[in-house]
Structure formats: C-alpha cells, structure tokens
Chain A
C-alpha cells in the first residue's frame, strides 16, 4: 500500500521552550486506520496540528499525497479533514449552515445533497436547523465530524474522538469510521483509551514525551509484546512453590490453589526452551502436582503500553 502521509524528522519546540515533538518520522498508509496512542501531553495533538497547518514545525517536513504541507498547503489541506479535540463550534449557526460553510471553506462547490448525506450519516438530520449552542456535547461532536467530512477528504484526523462521548455515539462513530475506511478514506485517530486502538486500528503508533517509540501492526504488536499468563488451578493447595519450579518465577495465589506463570510469545513463536509452557507442565508432573484446569490470558494493549512507556 502506498503511503498517504510521510512525516520526516519532525520536531516542535513551543515558544515556552517545551519540546513537544522530537524528531518524529512516520508513514501512514493509504486506506488504513492508524491509532496514535499516548498519555496526555505526549505530543499527539501537536503532531496532528502540524500536519493540518495549525502549528508551525520547528524542524522536519511532512508530505500528504506527495505534496509538501508548507509550500503546497492548498493541495494537502484540501485532502484533510480534522475533528479537533476540543468541542469548538460556532454557537449561533445552524447545523446545516455550518457544515455547508466548511465545505465552501475547503474549496468545494456547494452541494446541498452531499451535505445532507453527511448530516444524515451522523444522525443529525432532525437537528439540521438547530443552533449549535442548543445541542448536547455528543451532538456537537457529531457536528464537528460532519464539518470535517463536508469536503470529502481523503484523510480524516480524529483527535481524541471518544473523550466525553456516550456509548451510542461511540458505536455510531466506529461504524462510520469503518465505512469511511471501506470507501478508501485514511483515518488517523489519537487516543489514550487503549481499548479504542485495540478495537479500531490496523496499525498503532505509540508516542511518549514527544518521541514515537514504536509503530506496529496491531496484531503484530499484540503478538510481539503481548505478555501471556497461564493460570494453573491445582487440585490441592500448595503451601510453598517447590524449588524445582523456581526458574519459572511462578506466583501462588488463591490460598495456594492457583499457580500463575507469565511468559512472552515472541514473533518467532518460541517460548524459551528452558522455561516454556511444555517445560513447566513437565516439571509439574515430575513434582506430582495435579491440576484440574488451565487457562491463558493475553495482555491488553494497555499493559503493553504501560510497559513500553516504563521502558523508554
């Protein structure tokens, strides 16, 4: 898949002297859903703001569909839709008027039928003549999404799309995002809700303190870094862990009735010769420890993320 956005060596130091982005390079593939994951203050909004033209980069460059965001900003910006993190919309305008305004601002001829389609796809049609200030927070978010889609962008940025959003809107939003992706739109979302990246993204980039620490296919990321846990429910509780099992670093819980073993499945699939699952089970049987059940748990992106940030 060709890249739709190429970020090279991007840095941003604000006037305050704070470096919000430090030499970030990143390729976004056309048609993917990319999740930019990081805690508050990591630099997610700064990165998006630079690509969209709201913040000037200190160093580095960005191209969108091969066009430079500074010297060819008309080409790049007309391809991008942005849903900002903050709920900021004209208070006094009607929904229909503000969405039409966005379409014009981005250089498109008026097309009421298309505007209607966008407004309907966000379940806002009943509210089309309402003033924006009379809408609830969730409705305002829908309006912002409609505005961002009004000019038929190729790339859609969603900055913290589910912050303060109810379950229904979240479901609607994810449905819409998938539909957009299916129609060829590239979607980049930022989040610190990790389930969100896990649920939605094709690829995940982890950003922390202005540095992109890792970019991976979500599935590969889960596989490479996903810690797994094997719980062994014993027939008879153990008072202590036998010396022979020490290399496995087991923990005993549930009043001695459950042994837990943490292990990592690496990309090669090997579990470590000396203390893999097979070795553990052999050791258990050699010790004469009987068990009635086994189950495994895979760590969530959240666990992965916490460990990554801690490591960096």
Chain B
C-alpha cells in the first residue's frame, strides 16, 4: 500500500499547473525574456564594451549563465510559491487535502510543473542570448543537470515559502530581499577574481556563488570554485528543502488545523 503511487493525481496537478502557465503565457514567458534582454543590453553591451574578456571568455557570453541562474532562481521560487499559496488563499486547497494523495505526489506535481517552466525559461534565455553573442556549451550534459537540479531545488524552496506565507507580500519577500541580492552579489555579472581579497572571502559564504560557478563551468570549463563543491552545495540545499517539506506535511503546518 505504501508502494502505490497515485499517478493520475500527479498528472492532474502537473497538467493543471502547466495549463495555468499556458493561460498566462505573456506573464510567464515574455516578461522574463524581455527583462533578460534588457540586462543583456545594459550589462552586456554597455559595460561589456569597456571590458572585453573575463578569464578568456567574452564578457557578453560570460554573463549568460549568471542571467540564466538569476531567472531560474527567482522564477522557480515565485512559480512554486504562487502555485501552492493561491489555493490556500482561495480555499480550493480543500480538494487537495481531501484527496488520496501523498505529500510526495503533491510535491511532484507542483514542483515538477514549476521546475519544468523554469527550465524552459532558462533555455529560452539561452536561445535569446545566442542572438546577441555566439554561445558555446562545453559540457551540455552538466549544463542541463545543473539547470534541472537548480530548478527543482528552488521550486521546492518556493513551495515551502508558499506554504509558509500568510499574505501576498510575504510571497515576494524572500525572492526580493534574499534571492535577488544574493544573486547579484553571487558573481552573476563578474568573476570573483575581480573583487578585492576580503570581499572574495565574504562572497564565499553566499550559496548562490556556488550555483553560478558550477553552471558557468558547464559552459566555459572554468569556474571560481570547484564544480564538485558547487554540485554538493546544491544537493545539500535540495535535501534541506525536502526535509522541511516532509516536516510541513507531517505536522500539517499551515495546511491542516
């Protein structure tokens, strides 16, 4: 009985969420692509024209993995957070809670859909960037692995925020106050070598540094930190999120009175 999986339920949740994405296609796809293009124009062209190369990589190409990560993190979090917060807010969560679904199935449906959307966005941004600068991907397998792993991890993190949040402002709070600053300070637009030694050390406490570094390695074969450390950090965060979600469902935290 514990071995059985309610596959129709996972499929129902996943399809429902992907339909929601399709309905809000403008908001979902167009706006991140647009804002990335703007970043690209401003950072890539304006700054890049004064700074031609970083570690042998053209600056325009150098920032692409960082931009993808920025979008991946913020979009994964906000998609998954909204997906589970909205039914809580409207009350339709009653159906999910009364259904014969396990926490695993709920998470698989919601996080799977949010991560799918983020991965698609990441690839769209990559394709958009390729219009501006020639792009190469040294390790396509690892690039996709980092892409999927990061999308899943941060969708899971978003899911947690969506269960924790008790208002729409809170949904935005963590992405805005924590993730965006950490991403900007995490080597998205620069190499850690460019920083004074003190700041370089401080930056190493920023987990996003590891995500961006590993991801950038998969593109260019060079990175600020070892790629194994990068992968280990991401996995550790993934496991931490899984444990929190498990605890939330065990206790019915903010889901059941």
Chain A residues in the interface with B (C-beta under 8 A): 14-15, 52-56, 72-78, 80, 82, 84, 86, 88-93, 97, 100-110, 147
Contact = CB atoms under 8 A, between A and B. Distances in A.
Contacts of B13: 105
Contacts of A77: 98-100
A106 B95 CA distance: 9
A102 B96 CA distance: 9
Given A72-B1, A107-B8, A97 B19 contact: yes
If over half of A's interface residues share one DSSP class (helix, strand or loop), that class is named, otherwise mixed; here it is: loop
B252 interface: yes
Interface of B: 1, 4, 6, 8-9, 11-13, 15-16, 19-20, 23, 87, 90-92, 94-102, 252, 256-257
B108 to A, nearest CB: 13
If over half of B's interface residues share one DSSP class (helix, strand or loop), that class is named, otherwise mixed; here it is: helix
Contact of A54 (B11, B92, B98): B98
Contacts of A84: 91, 94
Contacts of A107: 6, 8-9, 99-101
A97 B16 CA distance: 8
B256 A56 contact: yes
Given A74-B6, A84-B94, A88-B90, A106 B99 contact: yes
A91 B90 contact: yes
Given A15-B257, A89-B92, A97-B19, A53 B8 contact: no
Given A52-B97, A74-B4, A105-B101, 17 more contacts: A53-B98, A55-B257, A56-B256, A72-B1, A74-B100, A75-B100, A80-B98, A89-B92, A90-B87, A92-B20, A92-B23, A100-B12, A104-B11, A104-B12, A105-B99, A106-B100, A107-B99
A86 B94 CA distance: 10
Contacts of A110: 8
A82 B98 contact: yes
A159 to B, nearest CB: 10
A47 to B, nearest CB: 14
B92 A109 contact: no
A56 B252 contact: yes
Contacts of B99: 77, 105-107
Contacts of A14: 257
A108 B101 CA distance: 12
Given A56-B257, A80-B98, A108 B19 contact: no
A88 B257 CA distance: 18
B221 to A, nearest CB: 45
A157 B257 CA distance: 20
A104 B17 CA distance: 14
A88 B99 CA distance: 16
A279 to B, nearest CB: 56
Contacts of B100: 73-78, 106-107
A193 B33 CA distance: 56
B88 to A, nearest CB: 11
B174 to A, nearest CB: 25
B9 A74 contact: no
A120 to B, nearest CB: 21
B95 to A, nearest CB: 7
Nearest to A53: B98
A265 to B, nearest CB: 42
A105 B256 contact: no
